[in-house]
Amino acid sequence: MSKLVAPHGGKGLVCCLLHGNDLEAEIEKAAGLKKVQISPRAKGDLIMMGIGGFSPLDGFMTKADWKGVCENYTMADGTFWPVPITLDVSAADAADINEGDEIALEHEGTVFATMKVSEKAEMTDVDKKWECEKVFKGKGEESADDVFWKIAMEDHPGVQMVMAQKEYNLAGPVKVLSEGEYPEEYKGIYLTPAEVRTMFEERGWSDVAALQLRNPMHRSHEFLAKIAIEVCDGVLIHSLIGNLKPGDIPADVRVKAIECLVDNYFVKDNVIQAGYPLDMRYAGPREGLLHATFRQNYGVSKMIIGRDHAGVGDFYGLFDAQDIFDEIPTSDDPGKSLLCQPLKIDWTFYCHKCDGMASLRTCNHGKDDRVILSGTKLRKALSEGAEVVDHFGRDEVLVILREYYAGLTEKVEVKMQSHAGGDTMK
């Protein structure tokens, strides 16, 4: 009997990826089906359904699921889920598709899945705006009622993605045929929930924390991971290896930088590095909940949630992503509740007077004594060729990152949040 937290949904790992003869037969069938082109986001969602990362989902959500998730954090059957997992198609494609049809879902020439359509629902601009207001609005200055829509279409990538979705959503169960480039391109890093769970069990871990990364690890990330190692059996350093927004650092560079840091500054027996194939949704606190939800499927019982987790600009309050865990519904059925709990850690930084890493809970010194750390601030400095202040990152890691930026021919301006610069620190 496993001592790890159970997969979300109470059904074990729900894996939609086919193998062997079943896979060959479905690939052959898919060749004769109507092909629908899907977004990179949907590709990542399919792969997560394939490997069990999105358990208990076995397909894309119905409009009832979509409405319940946006409004109440629960699907139609009462199971907790924090962000919609939907498949958008054009009106032209939708006109040729009826409920009960089977279709093939294709991205850049690869058929990733087949799907039996259970529902076709129109998504108007009013629907999309409602989703954005429910999912992407936070408690920060840029989410105020009189500001949000004035700037969201230009400054919030999550809102931009939803508003750019096509006119219809299709729902229904899927059979996943491919994991794309991830098994080869990220061999040893791209790991399925079943593989990660096996690694945890082989090490005798039962209480495991996850560190979410979309940036290279700076000293604050390192400190968060080491706090978790002190109070848990081990830490999963889990990086997003799907698509990011322009200006973010590619996954292969981040993986190399993390490996360097782990090799030089961690006890390796207490850390596992892995990657997962999703695109960022940039949903702030809701994305923090999503991170915890699918990490539960990987066997993780605690999700590290620090300052401005998955933040975008100043749309979210400093600790909205911590507070939201106290606001979500629970069920009498533990299978329908989120079991992965937050490991809430205060704003962390390097303090010259403390002569080490500290947080607002442990350091009584002033802002002038502190090195404010953030991934955004690091990317901005590196992209502009500016000096990276002492104690911001490990020298070995900065060598890797500077080499990457030196090779860029086009650079994207990095917008600073007030949190990232330390403007809001007391």
- The dihedral formed by the CA atoms of 42, 44, 49 and 50, expressed in degrees to the nearest 10: 120
Handedness of CA 374, 376, 378, 380 (dihedral sign): negative
Cα(88)–Cα(36) distance, rounded to whole angstroms?
10
- The dihedral formed by the CA atoms of 5, 9, 10 and 12, expressed in degrees to the nearest 10: -70
Taking the CA atoms of the chain, what radius of gyration do you get in angstroms? 21
| CA distance to 215, 222, 238, 252, 272, per residue, from 259 (Å) | 13, 12, 12, 11, 10
Q: Which among 258, 242, 238, 261 is positioned nearest to 250, based on CA atoms?
A: 242
Give the H/E segment covering residue 210. strand 208-213
Q: Which among 29, 59, 79, 25 is positioned nearest to 337, based on CA atoms?
A: 79
Specify the DSSP class assigned to residue 336: G
Catalytic one of 41, 169, 215, 295 = 215
The angle formed by the CA atoms of residues 237, 391 and 394, to the nearest 5 degrees, is 45
Catalytic one of 214, 281, 295, 379 = 214
Helix axes 395-406, 375-383, angle to 10 degrees: 50
User: Is-catalytic flag, 214?
Assistant: yes
Cα(16)–Cα(28) distance, rounded to whole angstroms?
17
Are 278 and 44 contacting, i.e. CB atoms less than 8 angstroms apart? yes
Where in the sequence numbering do the catalytic residues fall? 214-215
